[in-house]
Chains A and B, each alone.
Chain A
């Protein structure tokens, strides 16, 4: 370890930062999908990640399902959870205001967290890495293969979403809803179904983030809130509602955290992202890629 030069160390932090940043990016993308269609800020987004990780552990490790089957089943399960969240917690709110909807998602995240504690207990769970724990050595860098899986899945999610939003009727209908809900309804788009779809897609992406993260960082019932906040910080940093912004914001945040923990005080690891969030909110609430006008029209 001591033979590492400073440059090598800095590169090492960068790899870690990119990996954790990819997770934040996925959470931020999930935020944006729901936010764009509904203007709801889903604070339960982190619980999708937590559930993804823990359900995967149960299916893959405890039940012994093969990796791919367990992966698909986990994503499907969390997707259903996301749809239930819309139907049971968000849509029934009688006086939907920003405040009441935020409180509804907070309540939902407490229920998810509490149920997860009842099912899995308080201990963290491990998941075998997708292609073994043998690290890849690259020019003095130690790269865990799981890091590449995380980054790869983030890229995959991005590509699939881009295709979905630009090439499919359903995706275009969803974009229409986020541009102008009333107009979308006028041309015959079922906006309620689009909202449900947004929750479903968002939950699925959260599950992917959770499944890929667990082999690196373990998973327990209590992780959701912090992941949601970091993901939100990434979304704000990039510009709320913008998908390229979410990826950029996630990666910048991951790098800040990784370098902050490595070079400054590691105990304050969780604080760096939040300090950045506060600074962005105070100085430039529209984020890096968000236009000021867009931010204003979205703000309720």
Chain B
């Protein structure tokens, strides 16, 4: 669980690289690269969230706020001030980091229920700001005209081009997180998850580590938000609401929050579920989400990533 093996990473990287080439040739799968763009953006969010929830054991029910902070920083700075989009992505990440630092420092002293409610409240407050500051954000109608990204004259104007951009960023986040988890920081985080008191007694600066992970998760979410904004060229508050924060929880619970792989599998599954498969359920969508989340919580506490181990243990018994 802890070690990130090189072969699966290589297989994953090749699969991601080849996928659009295959999908482009099969008519029924033609729109899959588009779904995979969203899946990649979700992966950025869930990788960070799995560091925070799965490894450090700190719950966040307001993570959509950081996603929104990234998206709206990109949106507002490009639309109203005409700044360079890359600069705006950077600004969004920076702002998210500062907000995470300001909120995380007092909030992460709280535990359990209290932390859950603090993050929940924070997420809703940020969403209300997006809705109410109409002059800047466009209010509930949203913000249009966010420019696409281009680099040295190369325009990320086709879905497949954007696909590679997003997944390159995901790969970066993945490698960063994998390295982080194998460093002393990662070991300290797991110690905090197992027992805060014991970790503290061992001399681990608990508060500093928790806030650091919170900031990292916020920056990843903000990057995802900026990428979303420049891809859609339009954002509205509904994308970044409480329901999405809960969807993120669903993603990492489904995939398995104790593993970055699990977090990514969950993100990809939910992206396909919500954009492709759940249409068949129509109005039942929310109920299906709720049922999936409940079944996973009750029967598969380690998510899909924990499934192989559960099965082998069953057989051995």
Q: Which residues of A contact B (CB under 8 A)?
A: 41, 89, 92-95, 98-100, 102-104, 106-115, 117-118, 225-226, 229, 232-233, 236, 240, 265, 267-268, 270-271, 274-275, 277-278, 281-282, 285, 299-300
**Closest residue of B by beta carbon distance from A40:** B113
Contact A111 B287 (CB under 8 A): yes
CB contacts (< 8 Å) of A115 on chain B: these are 287
Candidates A95, A114, A265, A268; contact of B301 at CB < 8 Å: A95
Candidates A92, A267, A285; contact of B298 at CB < 8 Å: A92
**Closest residue of B by beta carbon distance from A109:** B290
Minimum CB–CB distance from A34 to chain B (whole Å) comes to 12
Q: For the complex, is B171 an interface residue (Cβ under 8 Å from A)?
A: no
Measured between alpha carbons, how far is A282 from B104 in the docked complex, in Å?
10
Contact B125 A118 (CB under 8 A): no
Contact A281 B110 (CB under 8 A): yes
Number of interface residues of B (CB under 8 A): 42
Contact A281 B293 (CB under 8 A): no
CB contacts (< 8 Å) of B251 on chain A: these are none
CB contacts (< 8 Å) of B131 on chain A: these are 267
Measured between alpha carbons, how far is A277 from B103 in the docked complex, in Å?
13
Candidates A93, A104, A114, A265; contact of B285 at CB < 8 Å: A114
Candidates B59, B106, B121; contact of A277 at CB < 8 Å: B121
Q: A100-B297, A113-B290, A274-B122 are in contact. List 7 more A-B contacts (CB 8 A).
A: A89-B294, A114-B290, A117-B286, A233-B117, A265-B132, A278-B122, A281-B118
Candidates A41, A92, A111, A268; contact of B113 at CB < 8 Å: A41
Given contacts A118-B287, A268-B132, contact A299 B114 (CB under 8 A): yes
State which residues 277-313 of B face A: CB under 8 Å.
283-291, 293-294, 297-299, 301
CB contacts (< 8 Å) of B111 on chain A: these are 98, 299-300
Given contacts A92-B298, A100-B301, A104-B297, contact A118 B59 (CB under 8 A): no
Contact A110 B53 (CB under 8 A): no
**Closest residue of B by beta carbon distance from A102:** B116
Contact B297 A93 (CB under 8 A): yes
Contact B290 A270 (CB under 8 A): no
CB contacts (< 8 Å) of B289 on chain A: these are 110, 114
Given contacts A265-B132, A278-B121, contact A94 B298 (CB under 8 A): yes
Given contacts A110-B289, A117-B286, A281-B110, contact A104 B294 (CB under 8 A): yes
Contact B283 A270 (CB under 8 A): no
CB contacts (< 8 Å) of A111 on chain B: these are 286-287, 290-291, 294
Measured between alpha carbons, how far is A54 from B287 in the docked complex, in Å?
18
Given contacts A98-B113, A106-B293, A110-B293, contact A229 B285 (CB under 8 A): no
CB contacts (< 8 Å) of A226 on chain B: these are 124
Task: Give the residue among A95, A232, A240, A278 with the most B Cβ atoms within 10 A.
Answer: A278
Contact digits for B70-97, partner A, Cβ 8 Å, 1 yes 0 no: 0000000000000000000000000000
Measured between alpha carbons, how far is A215 from B121 in the docked complex, in Å?
27
Contact A41 B116 (CB under 8 A): yes
